A and B are shown apart, each in its own frame.
Chain A
Amino acid sequence: KNQVEQSPQSLIILEGKNCTLQCNYTVSPFSNLRWYKQDTGRGPVSLTIMTFSENTKSNGRYTATLDADTKQSSLHITASQLSDSASYICVVRIYGGSQGNLIFGKGTKLSVKP
């Protein structure tokens, strides 16, 4: 069964600290992996998209990694800011298939405290 699992479910960190969010998937065949940020009351916004051949991709203070062999991805946030408080959603695209080919994780809720 195609699944995307994220951990932890929630995380609280102090402003200025780093953190890493995890995503494990059992999706096959794999096409690409996406990380989205969803602020409270808003729609998700794309942070990164990585294909099979990409190991890492950065977007400002956000760095995503992908290990296609172990089917794991992480999102690292450096020098966190209060505005990083949001849910972070991992999404894997299937090559072919239905549902527009996208499988969503349930997200990690990050709270950054002053």
Chain B
Amino acid sequence: GAGVSQSPSNKVTEKGKDVELRCDPISGHTALYWYRQSLGQGLEFLIYFQGNSAPDKSGLPSDRFSAERTGGSVSTLTIQRTQQEDSAVYLCASSLPVGSNQPQHFGDGTRLSIL
């Protein structure tokens, strides 16, 4: 398929463990975003990559959260020493350059549950 792919779709882990979430954006999309959505809440911005520019990390809630984007394509979001409040759906989106009026294309998210 040509959509944004996220894996795993569900992840259950114990408090204190590290987790890695993966996002495969649509080919050719230079902009990539990570968001967090807690139950019944709106989307919370985490981090934004645009091409080769330095990422906008202003939404990362703590230094336990980090993300990278290799080769301008696949991105991984890493959460270290997970806490129960990290439980949420993590959504990835990609789009053509931000300067355009193109929509974001979202994956279906990774549902993370911290026991």
Q: In this complex, what residue of A is CB-closest to B50?
A: A100
Q: Is the CB of B106 within 8 A of A43?
A: yes
B14 is an interface residue with CB less than 8 A from chain A: no
Q: Are A100 and B45 touching (Cβ within 8 A)?
A: yes
| Least distance between A34 CB and chain B CB atoms (Å) | 6
**Least Cβ distance of B110 to chain A in Å?**
11
| A49 in the interface (beta carbon within 8 A) | yes
B interface SS class? loop
Structural contact, A99 and B108, CB atoms closer than 8 A: no
Whether B71 is near chain A, meaning CB under 8 Å from some CB there, is no
Give every chain B residue within 8 A of A98 (Cβ-Cβ). 48, 56, 58
Shortest CB distance B96–A (Å): 12
Once the chains bind, are B43 and A100 in contact (CB under 8 Å)?
A: no
Which residues of A from 6 to 49 have beta carbons under 8 Å from B? 32, 34, 36, 41-46, 49
B62 proximal to A (CB < 8 A):
no
Query: Is the CB–CB distance between A43 and B98 below 8 Å?
Result: no
Q: B-side interface residues toward A, CB under 8 Å?
A: 4, 31, 33, 41-43, 45, 48, 50, 56, 58-59, 91, 93, 98, 101-109
Across the A-B interface, the 6 shortest Cβ-Cβ residue pairs: A43-B106, A46-B103, A106-B42, A100-B48, A104-B43, A99-B45
Chain A residues engaging chain B, CB cutoff 8 angstroms: 32, 34, 36, 41-46, 49, 51, 89, 98-102, 104-107
